[in-house]
Amino acid sequence: MDDVVLENMRRHIVKAFLYYIKLNEKDSRDYLRPCPSWDGVRKMKHRGCLLWLPRPEGESLEHRTGLSALEQFATFDVPYAKWQKSLPIYDLERLLGPDHLATLRELPLFRENSLLMLGKRRSIPTQLYLWKIQGYLATFPELDEFDAISKRFFDRTEMNAKSAKISTPHQR
């Protein structure tokens, strides 16, 4: 049951991200904005939270963000800010899992950037979902392991099904 709840939350978050991208293409509403650097975060208006995507294998992560790993409950303190001084940073790889992250990586915004800002009032429900899923994974850490184990199991099962020859009584 735990994995059903987790999958539902993940689907909801991905659906919201796709909706924000559609709004940006249609009406130039920028709910998801790329951050070129950590210094660029303090210059942005309508801050909500930061979304961190580890670079795909083969690319240097530290080159783009200066990070090689992210703590589970990381925050970014914005210097000289009057409001929104501390922003949560969400590791999308950990929160969404490999399948949903692959869906997002098909889009140029997520493929070309490793740090994104999610902001403005309309994104508050999605920010709450990110917070909720982070707490859910902290409460049930075995679900992170379940993702890795189930992916290996299904990959192995699929490989075995392709290589197995199934004979029917008529083929004997």
Q: Using one digit for the tens of pLDDT, what is the confidence trace for 99-120?
A: 999 999 999 999 999 999 998 8
pLDDT of res. 82: 65
Whether residue 169 is contained in a domain is answered as no
- Residue 64: inside a domain, yes or no? yes
Reported as type and span, the H/E element at residue 75 is strand 75-77
The answer, yes or no, to whether residue 164 has pLDDT greater than 50, is: no
Residue 11 or residue 167, greater confidence: 11
Residue 170 lies in a domain: no
Structurally, how many domains does the chain consist of? 1
Residue 156: count other Cβ atoms within 10 Å of its Cβ.
10
Has residue 103 been placed in a domain?
yes
Identify which of 95, 20, 87 has the alpha carbon closest to the alpha carbon of residue 53: 95
Determine the average pLDDT of the residues in 76-100.
82
pLDDT at res. 70: 65
Is 166 part of a structural domain of the chain? no
Would you say residue 167 lies in a domain? no
pLDDT tens sequence across 129-159: 999 999 998 887 777 655 554 555 555 555 5
- Containing structural domain, residue 96: 2-161
Tokens of 134: 């982070």
Between residues 161 and 30, the one the model is more confident about: 30
- Residue 42 covered by a domain: yes
- How far is the C-alpha of 172 from the C-alpha of 166, rounded, in Å? 11
Q: Which of 7-11, 29-33, 78-82 has the lowest mean pLDDT?
A: 78-82
| Mean per-residue pLDDT, 33-56 | 83
Residue 131 lies in a domain: yes
pTM here? 0.72
